Amino acid sequence: MKIKIIEKGHELDLEDALNEFIQKENPDIQDMQYQVALTSCHGQLEYSFSCLIVYSSQRQA
């Protein structure tokens, strides 16, 4: 079993990164956890979109 964490500053970037990971690795996904964090820095809101993926590697035929 393996874990992959992907974090991006925009939800569409996270979506692209997740699709790229799934296409490249072809994982057997056991679980996925999605989280959004929001902070304020110098009066600016900053978002962090992340996904934790628990998976097993697929064997190449």
Could you read off the pLDDT tens digit of each residue along the chain, which spans 61 residues?
A: 999 999 999 999 999 999 999 999 999 999 999 999 999 989 899 999 999 999 998 755 4
| pLDDT given at position 35 | 97
Looking at residue 7, its amino acid is: E
Residue 27 forms part of a structural domain: yes
Number of domains comprising the chain: 1
| pLDDT given at position 59 | 55
Domain range for 19 is 2-56
CATH label of the domain that carries residue 14: 3.30.1660
How far, in Å, are 17, 18, 22, 46 from residue 8 at the CA level?
8, 10, 16, 11
